[in-house]
Structure 1
Amino acid sequence: MLSKVRIALDAMGGDVGAPVVIPGAAILLARHPDIEFLLVGDRAKIEPELDKHPALKAASRIIHTDVAVSMEDKPSQALRRGRKKASMWLAIEAVKKGEADVVVSAGNTGALVAMARFCLRMLPGIDRPALAAIWPTLRGESVVLDLGATIGGDARHLVALAVMGAAMASVHFNLTRPKVGLLNIGVEEMKGHEEIREAAEMLRTMNLPQLDYVGFVEGDGIGKGLADVIVTEGFSGNIALKAAEGTSRQMLEVLRSAMASSWLSRIGYLFARGAFQTLREKLDPRKSNGSVLLGLNGVVVKSHGGTDAEGFAYAVDVGYEMARYDLLTKINQMLNRDGGALTSVPTAQEAVS
């Protein structure tokens, strides 16, 4: 466990930039005084915000650059134009140089994935990164990945996601052997694409000591909390994420309209106000903000670009926890346990023969 957690923040990232990043960092510092911040961005924009938070100012250092990756930049453009100059790149590079333990950015997702992959490189045995998030469920929380870092993936990729997701769950939930499920259109063994069925057979055959494979999980099983880790490729994972976020907003809006529809509804709200507040907090997307980019030789966290300071603080909190409890070491241990979890993965033909 680290005595001090050093967090690099892309202060130019997101829809707003420093006016959200700086107060968000101040919120988290009040929760965790053992943080040192490296604020990367335009000093002229950072310092006026930093002056409002003396405690944060004392715990921060600024790396100046006036170059930012826009939310509209294509990953290749951002990598070509922003490499070694943009706030996003310099924040990631701070992790590579050992100046920070984790980097958090609310910037362009594609650019963040491309830059982090190019700068930090992949862990041995991992071909592609994956975005993993903490998902609220009826039983508590689950880790869900990949939420859109890359699209598609063969059976070996899904097995790699299972191992990395289990590592994250063991850190976040303090579990020795997290339950892992594969997202599918049904729970029967013959359902789903070939690569999903192959991954299931591999996980059953390998019987890894670091995770408990529980089988296929349908879409409604995510919210039910049927597994500690839900694994899927990035296309379907991103759709599931956006659908869940939209549904939660829809429910809150319908509830708000219903409570204001008549005087009787307003009176009923007064009696049930505590229950409605609990529901609102449970469905608050800010509290699920912060996806970890797994598979890299460093800890990278992606925040929603349009979040507010409170939401950004939650994303930084995810990074704080992953760094403090050494997620990277945990992933490496799981990947290399018993001769290497992934090097022992059979080929697709071997798995089904």
Structure 2
Amino acid sequence: MNALSLDTVVLAENKQELVILDQTLLPGEIRYLHLSRTEDIREAIYSLRVRGAPAIGVAAAYGIYLAVAGLEETDMDRFCAVFREKKAYLNSARPTAVNLSWALNRMERVLDAERDTLSVEEMKRRLCQEADAIRAEDIAISRSIGEYGFSLLRHGDGILTHCNAGTLATAKYGTALAPIYIALEHGWDDLRVFCDETRPLLQGARLSAFEMQTAGVDTTLICDNMASITMKRGKINIVFVGCDRVAANGDFANKIGTSGVAILARYYGIPFYVCAPSSTIDLSIPSGEHIVIEERPAEEVTHMWYAKPMAPEGVKVDNPAFDVTDHSLITGIITEKGIAYPPFDRAFARLGIV
């Protein structure tokens, strides 16, 4: 079994359910959830049953379609009012990943642009078409990022990645792991991937290591605090990470611990690349200081994965889900439109990212 064969997020053939791979159960169990209620879809996003910025965007697009697909309402004004209410509810699930709001806003633009020319039933079909398009585009975007990233690799490279930005985080291929899937298609079998475990939710241990190992890649799992010595020993030639939001100056938010990897890579002179669909580039914010960081429950640090609590009861816990890496630490940002190099605001403009 290869993780690339798994569908992360799709609309059921009956067009009445969102089918997601429950990533909270990996790698021990492969289980698909069939969700139709808006509350359940929001919970799946919040609880990381579906995760990764692109996959969240696809889930949100289908989620808002399903939220209104079953309405018996025939008045377009009332239909639109329900749409906006459900959109706000879904958008509240996670604040940092820009693809959530991006996908919902894209669906709303379809509603606003065509509400005067379509009936309610026609609008439902149109919204379904748009959600399908978002998923298809995500697959094409991920593959393009993979091809650009592959152009940076050399035979025998050691690649460090943090968190999971592979096929499980997208509709297919992923972002940070997409170059490795492309390399496999070219017959490269000598790449070595090092996966940070990514505390506290262990996306690197549970998901990235699972992906790479099932794909037949030489995979090594390391604790987050082993990245420095692994780099010092000369095992790492390049770093690929994903992201959840990029500011106009190139600062970006990714899973907690990413900024530390970037600092280490700079110290050891290792190229550090961010793999980012253009939909994650938020030109409305000038820098990373404007990115809202999601705070997660303390139990993820003190209780999760343990048979009994592994911290003193009542101890204070900080659990930010993301950190922001300064643009000065980034070698380049790999988008589906090309690789952006500093200064990033000018590079984004040259690539047509507006």
TM score, norm. by length of structure 1? 0.26
TM-score (norm 2): 0.26
Higher RCO (CA 8 Å, separation ≥ 6 residues): 1
Indicate the structure with greater helix content: 1
